[in-house]
Amino acid sequence: MKRFTAWRRRPWAGYAVVLAALAAIGVIYAGFSPRTDRAEAANATQAAADLKNGQQLFEKNCASCHGLNAEGTKDAKGHPIAPSLLGVGAAAVDFQVATGRMPAMNPGAQVPRKRPIAAFDTTIRTDYEDEAKRKAAEAQKAQAEKNLADLREYIAQLGGGPSVPAASAVDPTKGDVALGGKLFRTNCAQCHNFTGQGGALTGGKYAPPLATKDVTPTQIYEAMLTGPQAMPVFNDTTLTPQDKQAIISYLVQTREEPNPGGNGLGRIGPVSEGLAGWLVGLGLLVLAAAWITAKKPKKLKKS
Ligand code: HEC
Ligand code: HEC
């Protein structure tokens, strides 16, 4: 013990201890780090591959109109052919591609909703009886979902912009339906009609019907967030995320409610029903009165 104490007091002893500690840390670190490095490297390779896939999909399907760097293109006279996508964000890409609007096919007053192209078609049916057929369809759907995600990521990293809303933000069972109905009538009904049946706008444009199951809650949110074509943008100060969720709940729940009495009369409530009652009821009374008065003179002449 005495010898050790003496050794401990030597001037170089402190350095020796520090060196030993460093060596020990080095050994421990070496034991752990290669694995995390490898995992990080694998993640980075995967991310780069995803981005590459997104870029290739963009070059193949979109660059002809939107430009190789998504900067937009103009014709010889300087009129825009397609807008720049820098800053439109993942939400706009998701909306445009998942609703089949993009890639656009032929120029017209408005790019219509259609079935997405095969590479992005996440709506294909997978409910086949046949095992092999079902597996193939499921694989195709998974690939389409990955393609769409990669393309979104590619455009988003070029210029930022709004991202796709979280699933909880568009859950139609969570919003205030009564508030949603009120907000819909003040903000959306002038174009989309009182219960979302859609309607014509000027110049061959139209607001599409929203009362169909094809329009998903995510797409409703993204439409408000990005304002496609003739539709205005409803940013988070105009309609808070809660307001947006309320509108989604209203739209989804009214379209899922059956019409128990047959024709829903536009589903705008007692006003239309009262009007129908008046018109039909009064019409019948008028007809009856006309019939009675028309019969009388003949009878009078005979008697
Ligand atoms: C045939 C030409 C054409 C092709 C191909 C095309 N687009 Fe477009 N895109 C347009 C035009 C034109 C508009 C503008 C529509 C409008 O707002 O009137 C547009 C608009 C958009 C918008 C909305 C921009 C905004 O400001 O909100 C997005 C996002 C978009 N395109 C993404 C894509 C993606 C992604 C692809 C490839 C999958 C694609 N487009 C392929 C012509 C095209
Ligand atoms: C000025 C008229 C106008 C107003 C107001 C308006 N929209 Fe739209 N909306 C449109 C037009 C036009 C389109 C079609 C755009 C396109 O095809 O790119 C559209 C498209 C949509 C779509 C996509 C439907 C589909 O078939 O893919 C949704 C969802 C939508 N609107 C929801 C709303 C909601 C919710 C509101 C209210 C917060 C609203 N809109 C307010 C004009 C309007």
CB 172 within 8 A of CB 155: no
Q: What is the mean pLDDT of residues 37-45?
A: 83
pLDDT tier at 263 (50, 70, 90 boundaries)?
low
Q: Which two tokens stand for residue 266?
A: 């536009």
Residues 6+ apart with CB under 8 A from 171: 217, 245
The closest-lying atom of ligand 1 relative to the alpha carbon of residue 155 is: 35
Predicted confidence at residue 237, as pLDDT, reads 92
Q: Residue 75 corresponds to which amino acid?
A: D
Q: What is the mean pLDDT of residues 129-157?
A: 95
The size of the chain, in residues, is 303
Ligand 1 centroid from CA 157, angstroms: 17
Of residues 218, 205, 213, the one with CA closest to residue 112: 205
Is the predicted pLDDT of residue 298 greater than 70, yes or no? no
> Phi and psi for 233 in degrees, rounded to 5?
-85, 135
Q: Residue 113 corresponds to which amino acid?
A: R
Predicted confidence at residue 204, as pLDDT, reads 84
Q: With b meaning 16 or more CB within 10 Å and e meaning fewer, what string describes 263-298?
A: ebeebbeeeeeeeeeeeeeeeeeeeeeeeeeeeeee
Ligand 1 centroid from CA 82, angstroms: 6
Q: What is the mean pLDDT of residues 65-78?
A: 91
Ligand 1 centroid from CA 219, angstroms: 16
Q: Which two tokens stand for residue 242?
A: 């809660």
Ligand 1 centroid from CA 72, angstroms: 9
Predicted confidence at residue 91, as pLDDT, reads 96
Ligand 1 within 6 A of 158 CB?
no
The closest-lying atom of ligand 1 relative to the alpha carbon of residue 93 is: 29
Q: What is the mean pLDDT of residues 186-192?
A: 93
CA distance 3 to 7: 6
Predicted confidence at residue 167, as pLDDT, reads 92
Predicted confidence at residue 165, as pLDDT, reads 93
In the predicted model, what is the mean pLDDT of the chain?
Answer: 86
pLDDT tier at 156 (50, 70, 90 boundaries)?
very high
